[in-house]
Structure formats: C-alpha cells, structure tokens
C-alpha cells in the first residue's frame, strides 16, 4: 500500500526545471528504501524521458472544469525504474506538450490555471477509486501547482471522502504562488459556500495561501527560509504568522546515488580511491580545454536560472571589476533566463576570452562536469529557499561562495566562523562590494593557501547531505498530523491494469517508445576535448540535455539516473 503520495508538477528524471524535481524524485525513493512505500504523481508531459518509458494504464476517468469535461488516464511506469511507483496523469489537450510550463519560445502556456486545476482534480478522482483502507496515509503536495488539493479535499463535496487523509504542503519556492483572479473562479470544482474565504488573499484566489490555511502541516525546504517567509513572502507574511503552529522548516537532502563522484556517468573523470586532487584537476582540465581557461588560475562557476531571484544581475559588474583589477581567476556561467542577462554574458564571453565564458543552455550533463571541475561555485541569490547546487558542489569538491540567505545560510558555514566547521565563503549584503570581497577571499586562498583549499575540499566532500537524515523529520511531521506511516515489510504491490469497466473504455496502451531512451553507459566514453569559441556550447557529453529556449524555468530532457550506484560515499571515508 502506498503510504505517502507525492503530488507535483515535476519529478526528476521524468520532468525537471529545477530543485522541485530533484526533491520529488528522491523523497519517495528514500522513503521506499526505508520500507515506507511512497509514490509520485505528475502530469504526463510530452517529454523525452516520459516517451521513452512503457506505461500501464491503471485508471481512467474524467473531470469537469468549467462545463468542459476532460478525460484522463492515470498510468504507472511499467519498469519501476526509479525504485518507487511513478504515476503520470495523461490529459490529452492539456499536458501533451513539449514544455513543462513554457512553450518553445519561452512564453508561459496561457492555460496554466486550467491545466493544474484539472490535474489536481484528476488525482483526487483517481484516489476516490481506491478502497478506503488502501488509500495513501498522507497526501504530500508540492508548490502552488498542487496547492488547491488540501482545500479541495476539505471543502469540495466531490472529494470530501478523502478529507480524513492528512495533507502536507511543501513550499519549495514562495515567489510563485499561482494566484489568479476571481474571474477564473468558475474553473474550480463546486465548493461549500463558507470555503470561499479560504481561497482568497487580498481579493484574488491564491492557491499557496489556501494551502497554508487548509493543509494539516506546511513545510519549507529549510529552516531559515521559513523564518524569511515570515519576514517577506509577497504579502503572505501575516498568514505565515497566523499558522506558525503547523509550520516546519526541513532542509532538503540530495540524491547521493545520482550525485556520486565515484560513479557519475556524466563526468569525464570519476573519483578513484579517494584521490580528490586527481579527480579535481583532471575534471578541471576538461573544462579549461573546452572553455579556453588557464589551469593555473581558480575556476569560479555559476549554474542556475538567470533570474533576479538567483542574484545573477550582480555577476557582470562583479566579474568585470575583478577582471579589470588583474587578479587571476576565471569565470564560467551555465544557465538560461532573462534575455538581458543572457546577452550580457554572451558579450562578456567575447570581451574577456580566457577569463570568462558562458553557456546559455540547460544542460544536465555539463552541470555535473562543472561541479566536478570547478574550484568554486558562486551563488549570490536574493532568495534561496534551500538551494541544491551548493550541496552538489560540495559533494564534488567545489567550494561554495554564497550569500547568507535561506538554505545557503543553513548549509554553508563560513570558514572564518568560530567552531572550525566552515564549508565555504559567505557574504551578507546583496552588493557588488560584498560579492567582490568574497571572491577576493576565495581567490587569494586558492593562490596562497593550497593546503587549506585541499583540506576544505576533503571536508566538504565528506559532508553527509543524504536524505536518510531528512526523511526522519518528514516522518515526524506526518506522525504529528496523525498519519500512521511506518515501515511496511510487505512487498510492493504489483501493477494492476485498469479494469475494462472503468469510465474511459480505451484499452491500456503503453506509450510507444518513440524516442528510445539512451542507455547511459556504465563507463561513459571520454570525448576528445576541444577548445570552444566564446559562448560556444561544449561538445556535450552524450547524455547532454537538448538545448531549448526558456525564460524562467527550463525543462530537462532525457537523463537516465546513473544505474544503481551501490556505493554511498561515507562521511567517514578516508581521503588522500
Ligand atoms: P531552483 O530554484 O532553480 O529550483 P535549486 O538550487 O533548488 O534551484 O535547483 C537547481 C537544480 O537545477 C540543480 O539540480 C541544478 O544543477 C539544476 N540546473 C539549473 N540550471 C541548470 C542548467 N542551466 N543546466 C543544468 N542544470 C541546471
């Protein structure tokens, strides 16, 4: 029996634009490994990974949205390749598109409200078909796309049978609340008259606010971020104050099987026998040859969405100042986002060859290589609910340079802090001055204190960011809201196909493998390294994501997670 059902718009590797996918892709895996069968359900987008898998229809139904009936099927991945059941909701006409949120030009789909309201209702309709004793013990909703579920199960008569199931809502990003005007209120399922106020915040329908009001528990992806939401959450501050009793900050973990320097098939040189120095310098050489950088200068990289939230607007001036000062360091950027930022980086790549380069693309494989080959990773974020990049960087021996905010504050103590547990370099103010002085600290340490750099690398690569510790905190929250989640020794149930008598009569038809997923070779070939022109994309490792233009969120293409990485780097592993 599924104990926890994660309901989300993204799940790695099926559909990813950022950290939400990574988290929803790993939580059910770690829960299932701990004996608590968990599953994830997302919409069925027309993405490569999804099309490359075989799906079995387990349910068919329909929902009404504003007098329009949407037929849908719920399908389960037949191979169970993620180690837990992954379900997709196939709603022809709404989600069978090649982007997650945006079309190929980067513009958001105009019917986002209708798409996610339909998806949420379809999930609930499916859950109603479960015998009550087989229903999940917790419905765990992630971000605003699924934020109406806690409200729907409590206040929409159609779904009230599900009301006894505790709902937990996790905020991965409070900047996007999914708000829409009351003129679209007719898209919602019928609800009790008194429930209108629960949807409303400042005169509009705000799904995130509705979830904070109605979910049994609300979590954020770090403790500091919970505190910050109380200070500034685009108008929801008083609501967060009001509901503080049910709020918990739980820092994310990372999937240490996907992100394992000893087995990662996306990097050119893996960590062997704990030779960290060799691992770093060989991978750095690859990047230096691709991007035309000297190897005897520190390489400082940025990976992420090129948007204000990530603080990238600070980088051009900071880098220019640094480069003009003559200090020896090189800078690399990987990301997509706001056009003016992209253009600035493109221009700088031409202005400062050998010192700066940028890849304006979403490229999962290249990101792994950058974590492995960089000396430092910079994250000057304005807002950072948790941030995963700094944890991936540490696992791959890249020292983080971060702004003291949200999850960055919780995971990267400064090396100058008392206690001697530093992991990186932090700066407080969002200013070119503060960012520059953090960079100077990093660069001078690299040039003058190689022993400290080596020591720090070893320390950060040993930090245990795995989910095992984190899931205990989620279990505690589930139990606090009365959900009886506990290790279940019974084997996971077999996939049952939809009975023919279900509302949608179509026979279960596995999706044809239109574009068979590329198998990630156990040992990826080492492509010949060639120097790139400024701004040119690297000869992407064979698993590289297909480039597409996106503004705010970018979807990943096919990447099979590294097959069954057996070895988890132990926090106690000895290093040389
Ligand atoms: P976000 O706010 O974007 O979700 P997170 O730090 O939580 O930020 O997660 C970002 C995830 O997306 C990481 O796995 C990071 O490596 C990945 N990522 C972001 N931009 C890119 C890119 N251009 N190419 C490859 N991976 C990217």
> What's the gap in Å between 412 CA and the centre of ligand 1?
18
Is the pLDDT reported for residue 388 higher than 90? yes
In which band, very low, low, confident or very high, does the pLDDT at 418 lie, cut at 50, 70 and 90? confident
Whether residue 497 lies inside any domain: the answer is yes
pLDDT in the model for residue 488:
76
Q: Ligand 1: does its nearest atom lie under 6 Å from the Cβ of 298? A: no
533 prior amide bond cis, ω within 30: no
pLDDT in the model for residue 484:
87
> What's the gap in Å between 335 CA and the centre of ligand 1?
8
pLDDT tens across 138-174, in order? 999 999 999 999 999 999 999 999 999 999 999 999 9
User: 494 and 449, same structural domain?
Assistant: no
In which band, very low, low, confident or very high, does the pLDDT at 216 lie, cut at 50, 70 and 90? very high
Whether residue 540 lies inside any domain: the answer is no
Q: Determine the structural domain holding residue 427 and report its residue range.
A: 276-461
Q: CA 87 → CA 40, 51, 421, 422, distances in Å? A: 6, 13, 42, 41
pLDDT in the model for residue 297:
98
pLDDT in the model for residue 528:
46
**CA nearest neighbour of 189 among 93, 101, 125:** 125
User: 250 and 131, same structural domain?
Assistant: yes
> What's the gap in Å between 458 CA and the centre of ligand 1?
24
> What's the gap in Å between 137 CA and the centre of ligand 1?
31
> What's the gap in Å between 305 CA and the centre of ligand 1?
7
Whether residue 542 lies inside any domain: the answer is no
Q: Which of 202-216, 296-310, 464-478, 501-515 has the lowest mean pLDDT?
A: 501-515
User: 204 and 286, same structural domain?
Assistant: no
Pocket test for ligand 1, best of 367, 383, 393 (most atoms within 8 A of CB): 367
pLDDT in the model for residue 513:
33
Q: How many CA atoms lie within 13 A of 3 on its CB side?
A: 27
d(CA 294, CA 368): 20
Contact indicator for 554, 17 with CB cutoff of 8 Å: yes
pLDDT in the model for residue 534:
54
> What's the gap in Å between 61 CA and the centre of ligand 1?
35
In which band, very low, low, confident or very high, does the pLDDT at 449 lie, cut at 50, 70 and 90? very high
In which band, very low, low, confident or very high, does the pLDDT at 420 lie, cut at 50, 70 and 90? confident
Phi/psi of residue 291, nearest 5 degrees: -105, 5
- At which of 501, 523, 545 does a domain end? 523
Mean pLDDT, residues 195-199? 97
Whether residue 301 lies inside any domain: the answer is yes
pLDDT tens across 118-132, in order? 999 999 999 999 999
Sign of CA dihedral 511, 552, 332, 253: negative
Q: Ligand 1: does its nearest atom lie under 6 Å from the Cβ of 10? A: no
Is the pLDDT reported for residue 547 higher than 70? no
**At 145, is the secondary structure helix, strand, or coil?**
helix
Q: What is the mean pLDDT of the chain?
A: 88
Q: Ligand 1: does its nearest atom lie under 6 Å from the Cβ of 19? A: yes
Q: Ligand 1: does its nearest atom lie under 6 Å from the Cβ of 305? A: yes
Q: Which helix (H) or strand (E) holds 129?
A: none
Neighbours of 79 (CB within 10 A): 10
Mean pLDDT, residues 391-417? 97
Whether residue 530 lies inside any domain: the answer is no
For 273-322, what is the HEC assignment?
CCCHHHHHHHHHHHHHHHHCCCCCCCEEEEECCECHHHCHHHHHHHHHHH
Pocket test for ligand 1, best of 10, 19, 396 (most atoms within 8 A of CB): 19
User: 397 and 289, same structural domain?
Assistant: yes
- At which of 409, 429, 461 does a domain end? 461
User: 302 and 284, same structural domain?
Assistant: yes
pLDDT in the model for residue 92:
97
d(CA 242, CA 230): 10
Pocket test for ligand 1, best of 11, 16, 18 (most atoms within 8 A of CB): 18
Q: What residue owns the CA closest to ligand 1's atom 19? A: 304
Q: Which of 197-201, 229-233, 373-377, 486-490 has the lowest mean pLDDT?
A: 486-490
pLDDT tens across 336-360, in order? 999 999 999 999 999 999 999 999 9
Q: What residue owns the CA closest to ligand 1's atom 17? A: 18
Contact indicator for 312, 306 with CB cutoff of 8 Å: yes
Mean pLDDT, residues 195-210? 97
Q: Which of 110-124, 191-205, 477-491 has the lowest mean pLDDT?
A: 477-491
Mean pLDDT, residues 506-518? 34
Angle between helix axes 467-480 and 19-33 (nearest 10 degrees) is: 80
> Using CB atoms within 10 A of its CB, is residue 431 exposed (0-12), middle (13-18) or buried (19+)?
middle
pLDDT in the model for residue 506:
35
Q: Which atom of ligand 1 sits closest to the CA of residue 22?
A: 14
pLDDT in the model for residue 540:
46
pLDDT in the model for residue 451:
97
Rounded to two decimals, what is the model's pTM? Answer: 0.85
Q: Ligand 1: does its nearest atom lie under 6 Å from the Cβ of 22? A: yes
Q: Ligand 1: does its nearest atom lie under 6 Å from the Cβ of 18? A: yes
In which band, very low, low, confident or very high, does the pLDDT at 493 lie, cut at 50, 70 and 90? low
In which band, very low, low, confident or very high, does the pLDDT at 106 lie, cut at 50, 70 and 90? confident
Strand partners of residue 219: 170, 248
d(CA 438, CA 271): 28
User: 155 and 111, same structural domain?
Assistant: yes
Pocket test for ligand 1, best of 144, 171, 304, 538 (most atoms within 8 A of CB): 304
pLDDT tens across 240-269, in order? 999 999 999 999 999 999 999 999 999 999
User: 249 and 282, same structural domain?
Assistant: no
User: 178 and 299, same structural domain?
Assistant: no
Instruction: Count the domains in the chain.
Output: 2
Is the pLDDT reported for residue 555 higher than 60? no
Whether residue 89 lies inside any domain: the answer is yes
More confident residue, 381 or 528: 381
- At which of 461, 483, 502 does a domain end? 461
Q: How many CA atoms lie within 13 A of 96 on its CB side?
A: 8
pLDDT in the model for residue 554:
43
User: 18 and 62, same structural domain?
Assistant: yes
> What's the gap in Å between 542 CA and the centre of ligand 1?
19
> What's the gap in Å between 304 CA and the centre of ligand 1?
5
Q: Which atom of ligand 1 sits closest to the CA of residue 384?
A: 2
Whether residue 554 lies inside any domain: the answer is no
Strand partners of residue 426: 402
Is the pLDDT reported for residue 501 higher than 90? no
**How would you classify the pairing of strands 55-65 and 68-77?**
antiparallel
User: 511 and 387, same structural domain?
Assistant: no
User: 409 and 290, same structural domain?
Assistant: yes
Q: What residue owns the CA closest to ligand 1's atom 7? A: 19
Q: Which of 105-114, 458-467, 493-502 has the lowest mean pLDDT?
A: 493-502
Q: Ligand 1: does its nearest atom lie under 6 Å from the Cβ of 336? A: yes
**At 460, is the secondary structure helix, strand, or coil?**
helix
| DSSP states along 351-418 | HSTTTEEEE-S--HHHHHHHHHH-SEEEE--S--SS-SHHHHHHHTTPEEEEES-HHHHHH--BTTST
Q: Ligand 1: does its nearest atom lie under 6 Å from the Cβ of 387? A: yes
Q: Which atom of ligand 1 sits closest to the CA of residue 23?
A: 7
pLDDT in the model for residue 498:
57
Is the pLDDT reported for residue 75 higher than 60? yes
> What's the gap in Å between 204 CA and the centre of ligand 1?
31
> What's the gap in Å between 166 CA and the centre of ligand 1?
30
Contact indicator for 129, 59 with CB cutoff of 8 Å: yes
Q: Ligand 1: does its nearest atom lie under 6 Å from the Cβ of 385? A: no
Contact indicator for 85, 2 with CB cutoff of 8 Å: yes
Q: Ligand 1: does its nearest atom lie under 6 Å from the Cβ of 255? A: no
In which band, very low, low, confident or very high, does the pLDDT at 494 lie, cut at 50, 70 and 90? low
Is the pLDDT reported for residue 445 higher than 80? yes
Q: Which atom of ligand 1 sits closest to the CA of residue 390?
A: 6
> What's the gap in Å between 302 CA and the centre of ligand 1?
10
pLDDT tens across 273-294, in order? 999 999 999 999 999 999 999 9
pLDDT in the model for residue 543:
34
pLDDT tens across 5-40, in order? 999 999 999 999 999 999 999 999 999 999 999 999
- CATH number for the domain including 418? 3.40.50.2000
In which band, very low, low, confident or very high, does the pLDDT at 224 lie, cut at 50, 70 and 90? very high
> Using CB atoms within 10 A of its CB, is residue 242 exposed (0-12), middle (13-18) or buried (19+)?
exposed
Whether residue 541 lies inside any domain: the answer is no
Mean pLDDT, residues 81-102? 96
Strand partners of residue 43: 89
Is the pLDDT reported for residue 548 higher than 70? no
Q: Where would I find the H helices in 95-247?
A: 112-128, 149-155, 196-199, 207-214, 223-231, 237-242
Contact indicator for 168, 149 with CB cutoff of 8 Å: no
Q: Ligand 1: does its nearest atom lie under 6 Å from the Cβ of 337? A: no
> Using CB atoms within 10 A of its CB, is residue 194 exposed (0-12), middle (13-18) or buried (19+)?
exposed
User: 344 and 321, same structural domain?
Assistant: yes
């Amino acid at each position: 029996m599924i104990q926890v059902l994660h309901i989300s718009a993204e799940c790695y590797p099926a559909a990813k634009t950022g950290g939400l996918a990574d988290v929803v892709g790993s939580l059910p895996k770690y829960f299932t490994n701990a004996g608590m069968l968990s599953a994830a359900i997302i919409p069925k987008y027309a993405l490569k990974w999804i099309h490359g898998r075989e799906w079995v229809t387990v349910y068919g139904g329909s929902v009404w949205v504003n007098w329009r009936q949407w037929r849908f099927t719920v399908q389960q991945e037949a191979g169970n390749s993620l180690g837990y059941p992954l379900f997709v909701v196939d709603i022809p006409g709404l989600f069978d598109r090649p982007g997650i949120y945006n079309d190929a030009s980067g513009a958001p789909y105009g019917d986002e409200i209708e798409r996610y309201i339909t998806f949420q209702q379809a999930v609930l309709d499916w859950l109603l078909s479960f015998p009550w004793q087989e229903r999940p013990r917790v419905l765990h909703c992630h971000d605003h796309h699924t934020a109406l579920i806690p409200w729907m199960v409590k206040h929409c008569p159609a779904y009230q049978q599900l009301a006894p199931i505790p709902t937990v809502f996790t905020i991965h990003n409070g900047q996007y609340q999914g708000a829409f005007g009351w003129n679209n209120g007719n898209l919602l399922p019928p609800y009790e008259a008194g429930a209108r106020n629960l949807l409303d915040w400042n005169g509009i329908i705000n799904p995130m606010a509705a979830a904070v009001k109605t979910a049994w528990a609300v979590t954020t992806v770090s403790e500091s971020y919970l505190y910050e939401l109380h200070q500034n959450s685009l108008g929801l501050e008083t609501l967060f104050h009001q509901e503080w009793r049910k709020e918990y900050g739980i820092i994310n973990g990372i999937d240490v099987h996907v992100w394992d320097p000893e087995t990662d098939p996306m990097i050119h040189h893996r960590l062997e026998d704990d030779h960290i120095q060799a691992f770093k310098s060989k991978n750095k050489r690859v990047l230096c040859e691709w991007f035309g950088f000297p190897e005897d200068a520190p390489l400082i990289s940025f990976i992420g969405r090129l948007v204000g939230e990530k603080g990238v607007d600070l980088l051009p001036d900071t880098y220019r100042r640094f480069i003009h000062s003559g200090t020896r360091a090189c800078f690399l950027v990987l990301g997509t986002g706001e056009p003016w930022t992209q253009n600035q980086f493109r221009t700088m790549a031409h202005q400062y060859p050998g010192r700066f380069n940028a890849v304006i693309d979403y490229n999962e494989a290249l990101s792994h290589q950058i974590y492995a080959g960089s000396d430092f990773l910079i994250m000057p974020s304005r807002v950072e609910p948790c941030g995963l990049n700094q944890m991936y960087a540490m696992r791959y021996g890249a020292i983080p340079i971060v702004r003291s905010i949200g999850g960055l504050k919780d995971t990267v103590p400064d090396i100058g802090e008392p206690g001697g547990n530093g992991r990186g370099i932090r700066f407080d103010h969002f200013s070119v001055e503060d960012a520059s002085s953090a960079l100077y600290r990093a660069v001078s340490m690299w040039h003058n204190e190689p022993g400290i750099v080596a020591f720090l690398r070893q320390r950060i690569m040993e930090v245990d960011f795995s989910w095992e510790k984190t899931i205990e905190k989620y279990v505690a929250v589930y139990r606090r809201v009365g959900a009886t989640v506990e290790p279940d020794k019974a084997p996971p149930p077999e996939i049952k196909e939809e009975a023919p008598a279900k509302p949608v009569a179509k026979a279960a038809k596995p999706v044809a493998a239109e574009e068979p997923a590329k198998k990630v070779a156990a040992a990826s070939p080492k492509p010949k390294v060639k120097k790139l022109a400024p701004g040119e994309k690297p000869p992407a490792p064979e698993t590289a994501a297909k480039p597409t233009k996106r503004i705010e969120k970018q979807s990943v293409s096919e990447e099979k997670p590294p097959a069954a990485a057996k070895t988890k780097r132990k926090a106690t592993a000895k290093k040389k």
